[in-house]
Amino acid sequence: MTGFCSGIITAMITPFFEDGGVNLPELGRMIDYQISGGTDAVVVLGTTGEPATMTEEEKVQVIEFTVKNFKGKIKIIVGTGSNDTKKAVAASVRAEKLGADGVLVVTPYYNKCTQNGLYEYYKAVCDSVKIPVIAYNVPSRTAVNILPETAERLADIPNMAGIKEASGNMAQVVETMRRIRGKLDLYSGEDFLNLPMLAIGGAGLISVTSNIAPSLVKKMYNLVKLNKLDEANEVQDFLLPLEDACFLEVNPIPIKAAYNMLGFDAGIPRSPLTELSEENKIKLQREIDRAGLKRI
Distance CA(130)–CA(25), nearest Å, equals 30
Question: Does residue 1 sit within a domain?
Answer: no
We report the CATH number of the domain holding residue 276 as 3.20.20.70
Q: How many domains does the chain have?
A: 1
DSSP 8-state symbol, 275: P
Question: Does residue 174 sit within a domain?
Answer: yes
Question: Does residue 296 sit within a domain?
Answer: no
**Active-site residue 164, yes or no?**
yes
List of residues 6+ apart from 246 with CB closer than 8 A: 191, 208, 209, 212, 254, 255, 258, 284
Question: Does residue 44 sit within a domain?
Answer: yes
Cα separation of the two ends of the chain? 38
Q: 3-class DSSP state for residue 185? A: strand
Domain hosting 277: range is 7-290
DSSP 8-state symbol, 54: S
What pLDDT does 133 receive? 98
What pLDDT does 20 receive? 84
Amino acid at 126: C
- This model's pTM is above 0.85: yes
Residue 135 phi/psi, 5-degree rounding, is: -80, 150
**Active-site residue 136, yes or no?**
yes
Question: Does residue 192 sit within a domain?
Answer: yes
Strands (DSSP E) contained in the chain are: 7-11, 41-44, 75-79, 102-106, 133-137, 160-165, 185-188, 204-207
What pLDDT does 18 receive? 87
Question: Does residue 295 sit within a domain?
Answer: no
Catalytic residue among 59, 75, 164, 256: 164
Catalytic residue among 119, 136, 221, 259: 136
pLDDT band at 22 (very low <50, low <70, confident <90, very high): very high
pLDDT tens digits, one per residue of 221-277: 999 999 999 999 999 999 999 999 999 999 999 999 999 999 999 999 999 999 999
Distance CA(146)–CA(162), nearest Å, equals 12
DSSP 8-state symbol, 278: H
pLDDT tens digits, one per residue of 161-186: 999 999 999 999 999 999 999 999 99
What pLDDT does 296 receive? 84
62 contacts 45 by C-beta, under 8 angstroms: yes
Task: State the DSSP H helix or E strand holding residue 230, giving kind and residue range, or none if neither.
Answer: helix 229-245
